[in-house]
Amino acid sequence: MPRVIGQPTSRIDARRKVTGRADYAAEALLPGMAHGVLVGATIASGRVEAIDTTAAERAPGVVLVLTHRNRGRLGAMPSGLDWTTGQALDPRPPLADDHVRYHGQYVALVVADTLEQAQHAARLVAVRYQEQPPLVALDDPRAPRVAPEAALGVPLRIERSAPVAPLDIDVDVACGDHGDCRGALAAAPVTVDHTYTSPAEHATAMEPHAAIASWTDGELVVHSSTQYVGGERAALAAAMEVPVERVRVVAPFVGGMFGSKIATGGHAVLAALAARQLGRPVKVVLTRPQVFATVTHRPASAQRITLGAGPDGRLQAIRHHTVTQSLVEDGYPDDNEYVEPTTFTSRMLYACPNYESAHELVRLNQMKPGWVRAPGEALCTWALESAMDELACRLGIDPVELRRRNHAAVRPGDGKPFSSKHLLACYDRGAERFGWAQRDPRPGSMRDGDVRIGWGMATATYPGLRLGATVRLRVERLDGSVTATVSTAGADVGQGLYTVVAMTAADALGLPVELISVELGDTRLPPCAQAGGSNLTASVASAIVDAAGELRRRLGVAPDAPFADAVLASGEAAVEAEATSTVIVGETDRLVFQSFGAVFVEVRVDPDLGRIRVARVVGVYDVGRVLNPLAARNQLAGGVVWGLGQALLEGLAYDPVHGQPINGDLAGYLVPVHADIPAIDVGWIDAPDLDFNPLGVRGMGEIGITGVAAAVASAVHHATGVRVRDLPISPERLLG
């Protein structure tokens, strides 16, 4: 039969979603289910001096009010990220004591028979605080600063951990700092030295965080909006102090996550605790303001980039100093201090003999930051690519040509080769599709009447990650035909995993997609990595190919022979096999795995109003083999939309006096809507990376965001002559 891989294929789960038959976490209906509503602190720093729950407990329908005074015992919050440990969003257990470290921190959980009763009673909880001035800004001189070892290029667990088996990842010093950066900068004929800032950014997934917990005969079942059922299972087992085998987490469909649903939130822990105390299911769904206040976000950053180059534009030195935020210390252990890995990109993107990095954390009264789509790369490319554009302008060299001159054929520092790299082709093809040769390099020279037109570009990149998956492939005879079921615990978070799993299995077995069933998002299924790090397709597809190969060997079927005929002839009612893909975290001993791309942007700027409209975007990417062109286009374009939001709109702001998010809802936190989105033309160099996995596919969920903000800033400068180094690029920054 014709191959399915490489053909545009509509999502097999689409009908379930548009007809309402796709079950999300908050939609599970359990007999006797109660509803929990969380009460958040109205201060950002201080302590709970007194809390009166009398009125709430007497309210109609209320069955339980939990505070730090009566919460009961909880185990330690885990800080790993593999299948056996899991991780908590907050190292402090929920309702642990009377200390308040950020606005919205949970101080009570009210449980009632109905949601309305719980909401009413939650408003009756009276809390008196002893308030302290909060720390909410990176440049606040009162805020403690630390320089974590993890940020300086020594052993790092938190950014690149493995999900199926524990794994330590060492960032080799050879591919970190190298050469004599200080001396090279002092001797460089041309230097660029600027600081680029960005505010805290939130994942803002469409589906709020939710959990429904129930206990039966000592076994906990949680329907959760999580992108990592295995990690959540382990975290809940640790918190509830029960064997992990007695916990089941279910998440067949997740309405978006973008990193914010990897770690286990306090809402899920408290739902499980309340359900155990009451002996009935308890449902807890965060409100949108609670999501903004109590769920991880991309940290605010200030990145100082110093480039030293010769007159020909060839880099002689790069220094990258990053300052990002972390949570104030409170005496609870946090082995997973979150450090945004900005320097992972700057140390490898361009050929440069001298490199130096440093990282500082500023402790603030804000929820602990964490993974948000393309963590590290999204921020680094904003700063590094902006600096590269400034260097190009300073030297009068075309921005594309400058990047070509500094192309790294091997990884700087240690000379390790890339498994597959076609970045130069991305530059060429992207420039041709965009019409870059028609660009007049003089700022302000391109106009349409009174409107200023600007063209900018940047490099995009993201590592090739394969974090491991076990897949069970079961083939059955049914009414004279053959069907197959593919099972793994990976979550479909909207990226189209159901479809690509079915396509891969159909190709491997020679069966129509319609005869493939897919089971996902349940800890009863074989273990799988989190849906994150653009790894899941590469991880799961590799295991499917291996499992299908095992079935073919078992039945004596040649690789290209019809599989169904052999199953029918075998006389067996069903055959099955399992396979596990190995973990690859960006590199092996021999090779570096990295995706690349080039993004080109046109903006139109009204000089009187400072209004910026992005007119079009062209992006070309080197992401290995593309399994489903339809899904690939959506993923890459979706990433570009994220980049436009980062460039022009997004930023979580805090009241400096009270520490409260002042735009912590969808009315105040701006994200791109349809009217903001221009024509987006994305393409790819379809070059399989067969050293990475048997199908040659690398992930593409995150690379689309990288480079976009810098390309927009470059285009704005080209249009207006104004260089903006602080995100978002708002009209007042142009007019001020």
CB 495 within 8 A of CB 458: no
pLDDT over 80 at 157, yes or no: no
Rounded percentage of the chain residues whose pLDDT exceeds 90: 87
Q: Which amino acid is at 662?
A: I
Q: Residue 647: phi, psi to the nearest 5?
A: -70, -40
- For the chain, give the mean pLDDT: 93
Give 79's pLDDT tier (boundaries 50, 70, 90): confident
According to the model, what pLDDT value does residue 54 have? Answer: 98
Average pLDDT over residues 196-206: 97
CB 89 within 8 A of CB 203: no
Average pLDDT over residues 706-724: 98
CB 257 within 8 A of CB 293: no
Q: What is the pLDDT of residues 646-675, one digit of tens each?
A: 999 999 999 999 999 999 999 999 999 999
Model confidence, pTM: 0.95
pLDDT over 90 at 2, yes or no: no
Q: Which residue has the higher pLDDT, 169 or 656?
A: 656
pLDDT over 50 at 151, yes or no: no
pLDDT over 90 at 39, yes or no: yes
Q: Which of 711, 143, 156, 148 is nearest to 455 (CA)?
A: 711
Tell the burial category of 706 from Cβ atoms under 10 Å away from its Cβ (0-12, 13-18, 19+). buried
pLDDT over 60 at 40, yes or no: yes
Q: What is the pLDDT of residues 526-557, one digit of tens each?
A: 999 999 999 999 999 999 999 999 999 999 88
pLDDT over 90 at 449, yes or no: yes
According to the model, what pLDDT value does residue 87 have? Answer: 87
pLDDT over 80 at 155, yes or no: no
Complete domains list, the chain, with CATH: 14-22+468-582 (3.30.365.10), 31-132+209-257+261-294 (3.90.1170.50), 150-201+297-464+589-735 (3.30.365.10)
According to the model, what pLDDT value does residue 169 have? Answer: 32
According to the model, what pLDDT value does residue 670 have? Answer: 97
pLDDT over 90 at 239, yes or no: yes
Residues 415, 417: Cα–Cα separation, whole Å: 6
According to the model, what pLDDT value does residue 635 have? Answer: 96
Strand ranges for 572-689 from DSSP E: 574-581, 584-585, 594-606, 611-622, 679-684
Token output for 512: 């129509």
Tell the burial category of 19 from Cβ atoms under 10 Å away from its Cβ (0-12, 13-18, 19+). exposed
Q: What is the pLDDT of residues 679-688, one digit of tens each?
A: 999 999 999 9
- Alpha helices, DSSP H, located in 215-356: 229-240, 266-278, 288-294, 343-346
pLDDT over 70 at 82, yes or no: no
Give 562's pLDDT tier (boundaries 50, 70, 90): confident
Containing 543, the helix (H) or strand (E) segment is helix 536-555
pLDDT over 90 at 173, yes or no: no
- Alpha helices, DSSP H, located in 59-180: 115-122
Q: What is the pLDDT of residues 306-319, one digit of tens each?
A: 999 999 999 999 99
The catalytically annotated residue of 576, 587, 702, 732 is 702
According to the model, what pLDDT value does residue 150 have? Answer: 40
CB 390 within 8 A of CB 402: no
Q: Is 702 a catalytic residue?
A: yes
CB 685 within 8 A of CB 325: no
Rounded percentage of the chain residues whose pLDDT exceeds 70: 95
Give 168's pLDDT tier (boundaries 50, 70, 90): very low
Which of the residue ranges 127-136, 157-166, 358-367, 632-641 would you say has the lowest mean pLDDT? Answer: 157-166
Containing 645, the helix (H) or strand (E) segment is helix 629-648
According to the model, what pLDDT value does residue 176 have? Answer: 73
What is 39-54 written as a DSSP string?
EE-S-SSEEEEEEE-H
pLDDT over 70 at 334, yes or no: no
According to the model, what pLDDT value does residue 83 have? Answer: 64
According to the model, what pLDDT value does residue 165 have? Answer: 34
Give 147's pLDDT tier (boundaries 50, 70, 90): confident
According to the model, what pLDDT value does residue 478 have? Answer: 82
Q: What is the pLDDT of residues 114-129, one digit of tens each?
A: 999 999 999 999 999 9
- SS3 state of residue 164: coil
